[in-house]
Chain A
């Protein structure tokens, strides 16, 4: 175990169900070039850099199931989709084939369960939830990548395009300051009086 527990952080990045192995470290071999992608043709006219409109809506819908909007804002308000879209066109470019395959698989699942449905994003909430449970149980790499990408889009520095207005940080109670002093929390509130 580590001094800094870099080991633990690495563990979470690399092997905690491989979630971050496919996302945070962008370390998968076989880096795809843009031309090999099936999602996002270079000349597409969507509002996103990587996704077509339909792809973007599906990815946003999944992110919104992972961290829903209820009494507090969720992935949608935090702009997680913008983060994912931007990442896949920059440092996480290697993950694009995974997303392309994952979205195609999602489309098949939607078609099988709801032959008349237009897309995952257009299903109702309970139908979406059922399909996401299916994906989770199938141990799909795309699903684990979505978990990691959503967490990163929710909680990375806002400069990366997500965590809009620090919505993610506010949600969990993290405050990014450069100076803290005691008391740090409830249990050390009386420590200042102690020698």
Chain B
């Protein structure tokens, strides 16, 4: 059915140079960079190895099969609002579970973080109730890697179009995707408000690039895998390039249960369940965990030993702590004429005038807006209409007819502050289908986030008004579950007492263990984390390769 996997084949007993846990946005980059640098790499991915030919325009199928994401039925989790509550079974976190990870089904919004995101704590001061800190690196240090992401994976955009963009060393490799009616409305609204709409930077190629065909605007991006590989997932980009080196093996259906360490406290490999649930130990000189902000801390916590009784690399107690999601709010508007947001890549214009909110408003953080209509027909029928619309009957039918092609949703994406008690931990009783402890999520929004989301939604309503919406409405601002931007749970920092990994993603406690994904984020940014996850991964790979070449990992 599939092309046979390319790349190398290693025996588990072979001690490879690196074993990478997770073949997603970060793991794909690590695999490609490390194998290109000459190292022998095994990538273990819990999900299947699907190809473009496996993806279809099938809304119900994607929903039913849970083919691209973790499946709550076999991987349940629990949720509680605070540490004093008993967690109950509830689907709280969702992530990509396939070779390519979340980058297979994402929308492809590739915002860079701005300079402020890395130094907000020292610039703006502390926030009560938040474990707010600066990053151990600044934007300027990451900038070359942002540029690298844009060129290596293929990002479409227009340099210089956003007046709030941070400095960049090079333009985009590809021009922006075509503007849509929703984008024209964003421009109109921004102009009226004295703001600036600019072409959305998207990880979807607008022209043929490096052997891949350009986007044909079918519109099935969000939640779907791209049928022509125009979406710049690691499945379409990094993974095949890693395999092409002949030094990288991608092993799908491999569910890692433990990072193994020896008496000296060094990582020796990982144990995983294969597709037939046999336990296999893959030996490696160094371990790179890229399993996402929920699974990476879970794996470290499951890897406890007598030497590391609180979980691996957790002498600080920061493994699992400071879980962040990215806040936000959605508002809807209906217009006189057809918008047809379902055609073409989802987002074509972004507004970042509130990236840093006027200090007089008294809110920490900030955010950005985009205009889109992202709901495929079934979900639109179930939740796309104004919140006060009838749910059935002649009027409901009439509204479906009128609104599907004429609605726009303004998405506000915003800061989520780190709160020490928001966390990923192991559920004390619930197990997954492999008998491993389920993820337990503890989360309550910081009061600043609640106010910020409200503020952003008020502005979104003004945008809809300025765009000429005939009617506009607010969707609930309560955090939605399951959440998908899983951030902050293996914080990076210079101080081993308050962080899990150093500024190069190397665990403070285990010198041949790296954690590279959204879990390293010190702050949440304003939304759209994947671009930053990949920039960090390119940088981490450079450093890990340097260390390995100097013999510091073996």
Residues of A within 8 A of B (CB): 1-16, 19-20, 24-27, 65-68, 70, 72, 74, 91, 129, 132, 136, 147-148, 150-152, 154-157, 160, 168-169, 171-174, 176-188, 191
Contacts and interface: CB of A to CB of B under 8 A. Distances in A.
A187 B404 contact: no
A180 B343 contact: yes
Q: Which of A72, A148, A177: most chain B CB closer than 10 A? A: A177
A176 B378 contact: no
Contact of B383 (A12, A70, A132, A188): A12
Contacts of B374: 5, 8-9
The 8 closest A-B pairs by CB, nearest first: A1-B328, A185-B181, A186-B337, A11-B480, A155-B377, A187-B181, A172-B404, A4-B107
A3 B94 contact: no
A10 B64 contact: no
A141 to B, nearest CB: 14
Interface string B482-512: 1111000000000000000000000000000
Given A147-B392, A171-B401, A187-B335, 8 more contacts: A1-B413, A4-B221, A4-B223, A10-B94, A10-B484, A156-B60, A176-B57, A188-B180
Contact of A185 (B325, B337, B480, B530): B337
Interface in B391-446: 391-394, 396-397, 400-401, 404-405, 411-414
B293 to A, nearest CB: 13
25 contacts: A2-B483, A3-B530, A4-B107, A4-B346, A6-B222, A9-B374, A11-B480, A12-B375, A25-B66, A67-B400, A68-B394, A70-B394, A136-B391, A148-B382, A156-B378, A168-B377, A173-B401, A177-B218, A178-B227, A182-B180, A183-B181, A185-B180, A185-B405, A187-B182, A187-B339
Contact of A157 (B61, B344, B412): B61
Contacts of B548: none
A106 to B, nearest CB: 15
Contacts of A65: 392-393
B58 interface: yes
B552 interface: no
A188 B485 CA distance: 32
B240 interface: no
Interface residues of B, dominant DSSP: loop
Q: Which of B178, B341, B375: most chain A CB closer than 10 A? A: B178
Nearest to B188: A187
A13 B63 contact: yes
B218 A180 contact: yes
Contacts of B223: 4, 6, 9
B295 interface: no
Interface size class of B (residues with CB under 8 A): 35 or more
A186 B338 contact: yes
Given A174-B404, A184-B343, A7 B179 contact: no
Nearest to A66: B392
A7 B337 CA distance: 28
A24 B64 contact: yes
A12 B530 contact: no
A14 B393 CA distance: 23
Contact of A14 (B227, B326, B414, B482): B482
Contacts of B216: 178-180
B431 to A, nearest CB: 14
A7 B480 contact: yes
A191 B64 contact: no
B438 to A, nearest CB: 14
B382 A147 contact: yes
Contacts of A1: 325-330, 411-414, 480, 485, 527
Contacts of A148: 382
A176 to B, nearest CB: 6
A26 B401 CA distance: 27
A32 B227 CA distance: 36
Contacts of B184: 187-188, 191
Nearest to A144: B391
A5 B107 contact: yes
B487 to A, nearest CB: 11
